[in-house]
Amino acid sequence: MAATTPIQEPTDAELQAAWAAVRGPDWPTLPQILTAARQYQLVRGAALRLARGERAKAEPTANTPPRAAPRGPKPPHHPPQFDHKRAAAGDRDDD
């Protein structure tokens, strides 16, 4: 079994650089991010990628899939005219 290398926690400088690379316009400051678990994980992952020499944020791709055509309204639901289960059971209307 091959030994795995432990993940080294990012430094403060790496966290700062990663936060600057991935933050959105409405994101809070880095100290507030560090307490927000979801955004912290995004920043932490980006910092680890920066530490490995990778890009922190993926560039948008030019091949975006086409949008699906909008669907029309659903047809109205009508109850079945003939009940196959009742007919199979031999049940008849007494009309």
Question: Which residues, including other chains, have CB under 8 Å from residue 42's CB and lie 6 or more apart?
Answer: 22
Domain ranges of the chain: 12-51
Q: Write the burial class of residue 45 (CB in 10 Å: 0-12 exposed, 13-18 middle, 19+ buried).
A: middle
- The per-residue pLDDT for 46 is 85
- Residue-wise pLDDT tens digits, 15-42: 888 888 888 888 888 888 777 777 788 8
pTM of the model: 0.38
- pLDDT band, very low/low/confident/very high, at 3 (cuts 50, 70, 90): low
95 has pLDDT over 60: no
Token couple for 94:
């007494």
- Give how far Cα 25 sits from Cα of 13, 28, 31, 49, 71, Å: 21, 9, 16, 22, 33
Which residue shows structure tokens 């700062």? 16
Q: How many residues does the chain have?
A: 95
Q: What is the pLDDT of residues 42-87, one digit of tens each?
A: 888 888 888 888 876 655 555 667 778 888 888 888 877 888 888 8
Please determine, for residue 92, whether its predicted confidence score (pLDDT) is greater than 60: yes
Give the per-residue pLDDT at 63: 62
